[in-house]
Structure 1
Amino acid sequence: MKTFITILLIAVSSTFFGQEYNLKQGYLAEGYDVVSYFSNRAEKGDKEFTTTHNAVKFKFSSKKNLDTFKSAPNKYIPAYGGYCAYALGTKGKRVAINPETFEIRDGKLYLFYNSWGINTFKMWQEEGAEQLKAKADKNWIKIKKEK
């Protein structure tokens, strides 16, 4: 089963290699409001409330969240450029995410792949989030150096 998951994750990620940020739909977090995650909600952003930070576009569900982001943007940017934290921890690969599958851990936003019966957030928890996070941190540094 793990081999199948690995193959599927690599296949899904193939279109995203070479990008420091996961910009599916043209926005980080697929256009979901990165501030809302910190209230334990995954909310779609609105084109009325957008901004660009470090050449990356973001959408927000409200002007309040847009202003909150602008006051401290680095606090809200997802770990690993918005790619799947589990895939970074297990294989060191950039994989797409489901923007409604997330975790706030130690004040940082982590996003996960969740589709076709595979929920990498559950796997992240079951296999040891702290160890996977440590591996993902190291793998992300390697990926950014290769760029």
Structure 2
Amino acid sequence: MRMTSLALAFAALLPATAFAGEQYVDETGFAVSGYDVVAYFDLPQSAVGEAQPDPVPGRASLTAEHNGATFAFSSEENRERFLADPEAFLPQYDGHCAYGVAKGGKVPGNPYLWRIVDGELYLNITENVVSFWEEDIPGNIDLAEGNWPGIEPDGASGNTIPQFSSAAPLSE
């Protein structure tokens, strides 16, 4: 019993990424549909209820592997920033829709439907879902955080992002 308690205590000290679930990867073969996850943090963020600026496409020649997925970047500088601290830039819930996780499931996150909250990148699946998400962002994050440990071990969503056509990654 004591050994089990020590093992559980040790596991609680490990970084969350040690237990990361599968990253959502769509038909592009890239995480976040090939958009540069670092660039989101340099974009101006729109007010709640307004559309966010378009994400920045990554380049097929500038990539990094993390959590079993390939991430593309728009510049070598962004790639290096990611490699120095991937956890600072990863979308929450392995790139799945934040509102979907709040409701207890895994569905794809659309790279065009994003918001940064308290330094964390969140994606949602459709504009309609964004409106529900934005009605109570802190409450939805609380729900998602409560649901995530139970659904994180499940495989990544195999669904396609509805009404989405990716322009990323840019090829050389």
TM bracket (short chain): 0.7 to 0.9
Once residues 25 and 138 of structure 2 are traced to their aligned partners in structure 1, the CA distance between those partners, rounded to angstroms, is 26
1:139 aligned residue (147, 164, 167): 147
What is the count of residue pairs matched by the alignment? 124
Using the alignment, how far apart are the partners of 1:27 and 1:39 within structure 2?
21
- SS of 2:152's equivalent in the other structure is helix
Q: Could you tell me which amino acid in structure 2 is paired with residue 106 of structure 1? A: D
Q: Which runs of 5+ in 1 are unaligned?
A: 1-18
- Partner secondary structure for residue 111 of structure 1: strand
**Amino acid paired to 2:144:** A
Identity %: 35
Task: Tell me the residue number matched to 1:123.
Answer: 132
Alpha-carbon distance in structure 1 between the residues aligned to 2:68 and 2:24: 13
Decide which structure has greater strand share. Answer: 1
Q: Which has the higher helix share?
A: 1
Pairing 1:98–2:141 present: no
For the pair 1:112 / 2:124, whether they are aligned, the reply is yes
Task: List aligned pairs for 1:18-57, cutoff 5 A.
Answer: 20-24=22-26, 25-40=28-43, 42-57=55-70
Deviation at 1:145, TM superposition (A): 4.5
- The gaps in structure 2 that reach 5 residues or longer are 1-20, 44-52, 156-172
Q: Which residue in 2 is equivalent to 1:82?
A: 95
Q: Larger radius of gyration, structure 1 or 2?
A: 2
2:82 alignment counterpart: 69
Provide the C-alpha distance between the structure 2 equivalents of 1:68 and 1:99, rounded to a whole number of angstroms: 19
Extract structure 1 runs of 4+ deviating beyond 6 A: none
What is the RMSD computed on CA atoms of the aligned residues? 1.6
Q: Specify the SS of the correspondent of 1:96.
A: coil
Deviation readout 1:16-66 (Å, 9 max, x if unpaired) = xxx621111211111110001101251111101101023221000111110
1:71-107 deviation per Cα after TM superposition (whole angstroms, max 9, x unaligned): 1111111100000001111x21111122111000011
